[in-house]
Amino acid sequence: MTASKSSRARNARSGGQAGAARNASGARNASGARNASGARNGAAVTNGNGGAARNAAVARSGVATKNGPAAKGAVTAKTAGGPRGRTAAADDLDTRTAGTGPAVWLQLTTFALALAGLGVSIYLTIAHFSESTLLGCSETKGLVNCTKVTTSAQSYVFGIPVAVLGLAFYLFAVAIMSPWAWRAARREVHLVRIASLVVGIGFVLYLLYAELFIIGSICLYCTSVHVITFLLFVLTMFAIAAWGLKPGAAWPQRLTPRNLAGQRLARQAAS
């Protein structure tokens, strides 16, 4: 009887320990399952956020993705301007600045020089026909002798006084060097400017040769006209080098490989 009771007690204790062990194992399993589920959920969230971050990065970098037209729009906006990343805003700025010509300082400088040359040419023409002495010009036998130059045989070209030719040239120069002419959209205006200055600088070289090697004297007023013509020639050539043969159109609109590529991409995006 006593042995039977002790056996039952031992069985009860071992059953209780086994139940406790099962309960602990179940609790651990449930906790592990919950933790695993949470880990999976966390991973899913992390992956979702990572995918969103990657998509956002892709959209920012301008690469077309499967997310729709937004990323494609970014590509079009970034590549429509050509290899260097010109944007539609930059192209719009080019359109607004079209027809402004070269820099304002160059327009005003050339216009002021043309007006100065016109003033000197008018004075030389008046002095030629009135046979008056030029103010401030030496009449000695030295290198500077205005009267000797203005009354020499070389003061006429094809029977026309050089002073009159200079006056005609600078009347034209004032018009062609005005800001309105610099901003002209017609290419012919700029070609005529170049041609006139090439002729003018050639005539200046002839007059310098005549003064130094034939007459043996120079005229200060004539020399001032020569210097002005040379400066106009240099500034005009500089404008061609910096703004192209047609400065009246905005410089970025010249047909360069970059702009041609940008135009092709813009047409592809529009289609």
Both 237 and 125 in a single domain? Answer: yes
Both 159 and 141 in a single domain? Answer: yes
CA dist 111 and 232 (Å) reads 9
Both 232 and 260 in a single domain? Answer: no
Both 129 and 80 in a single domain? Answer: no
Both 10 and 91 in a single domain? Answer: no
Both 90 and 197 in a single domain? Answer: no
Both 214 and 93 in a single domain? Answer: no
CA dist 237 and 230 (Å) reads 11
Both 171 and 73 in a single domain? Answer: no
**Residues 40-73: tens digit of each pLDDT:** 444 333 444 444 444 444 334 443 444 444 444 4
Burial class (CB in 10 A: 0-12, 13-18, 19+), 109: middle
Both 187 and 110 in a single domain? Answer: yes
Both 39 and 66 in a single domain? Answer: no
pLDDT, averaged across the chain: 71
Residue 100 Cα to chain centre, angstroms: 13
Give residue 16's domain range: 2-60
CA dist 149 and 133 (Å) reads 12
Both 108 and 232 in a single domain? Answer: yes
DSSP states along 167-209: HHHHHHHHHHTSHHHHT---HHHHHHHHHHHHHHHHHHHHHHH
**Residues 130-188: tens digit of each pLDDT:** 888 888 786 666 788 888 898 899 999 999 999 999 999 999 999 999 999 999 888 89
Work out how many domains the chain is built from and give that number. 3
Both 44 and 6 in a single domain? Answer: yes
What's the CATH code of the domain at 158? 1.20.1440.130
Specify the pLDDT at position 252: 41
